[in-house]
Amino acid sequence: MFITFEGLDFSGKSTQAKLLYEYLKKHKVKCILLREPGGTAISEKVREIILDREHIEMTPLTEFMLFSASRSQLVSQVIKPHLKKGYVVICDRYYDSSIAYQSFGGKMELNHVLQVNNIAAGGLVPDITFLIEITPKAAFARASSRRNSKDRMENKNTAFYNKVYKGFKEIAAKNRKRYTVINGTLSIDRIHNIIISIVNKKLSK
Ligand SMILES: Nc1ncnc2c1ncn2[C@@H]1O[C@H](COP(=O)(O)OP(=O)(O)OP(=O)(O)O)[C@@H](O)[C@H]1O
Ligand SMILES: [Mg+2]
């Protein structure tokens, strides 16, 4: 089973991905926790190139291709082999983030993103995707309570995050079968309980 977490910065994806991972471990379910971009030696190096603040000349296409390269390596080297061995694979962000950030929020054409996503993922679609939904306003509020992180979000303006927010909502609406949208302003425990009830239901099928 392949489970992905999506949502705006500070929505709580990493918090929930980790809690789910620990829960499954505790219940002796074989699982791994990954993050995007990253998760392999090559993908982590690509991550550094993407996140390097000195690379201000990077074009939107280059950025998107780097995300896709990192993803492609992660899917081939780690995700698919683990799924084959019966692991539950949990990924903190996956290709829907490219649709939301690079297409809805950025300059990439949606059609191009969809095509390259499919190529980079080798056709691998998540079984379950959790969209942890908080508004850009709530995300900014969480960011400002953490000093260093604030800079990161303020790099991009509110208009950008509004578009990304809308993008995630549209992606979820178009992929109802695999998507669960969760109100990210609920408590960490409540969100975790919603997530484990859905995962357990799917695991028992
Ligand atoms: N349900 C919640 N209610 C209140 N605060 C939360 C909740 N979930 C997470 N947080 C807090 O919000 C901050 C961001 O959480 P987290 O790092 O999990 O978000 P993220 O979606 O992984 O963000 P990023 O995209 O930046 O990696 C953390 O300080 C976390 O403790
Ligand atoms: Mg995170």
Q: Which of 185, 190, 192, 202 is nearest to 26 (CA)?
A: 192
- Residue 166 is given by DSSP the state H
Pick the CATH number of 2-203 from 1.10.3720.10, 3.40.50.800, 3.40.50.300, 3.40.50.11810: 3.40.50.300
- Measured from the Cα of 184, ligand 1's closest atom is 1
- Measured from the Cα of 7, ligand 1's closest atom is 21
pLDDT value of residue 151: 55
pLDDT value of residue 147: 61
Q: Which segments in the chain show pLDDT lower than 50?
A: none
pLDDT value of residue 144: 84
pLDDT value of residue 156: 78
Ligand 1 in reach of 141 Cβ (< 6 A): no
Ligand 1 in reach of 6 Cβ (< 6 A): no
Give the number of C-alpha atoms closer than 13 A to the C-alpha of residue 4, restricted to the C-beta side: 20
pTM of the model: 0.96
Distance 136 CA to ligand 1 centre (A): 13
Give nearest CA residue, ligand 1 atom 10.
Answer: 12
Q: Which of 122, 119, 46, 41 is nearest to 83 (CA)?
A: 122
Domain ranges of the chain: 2-203
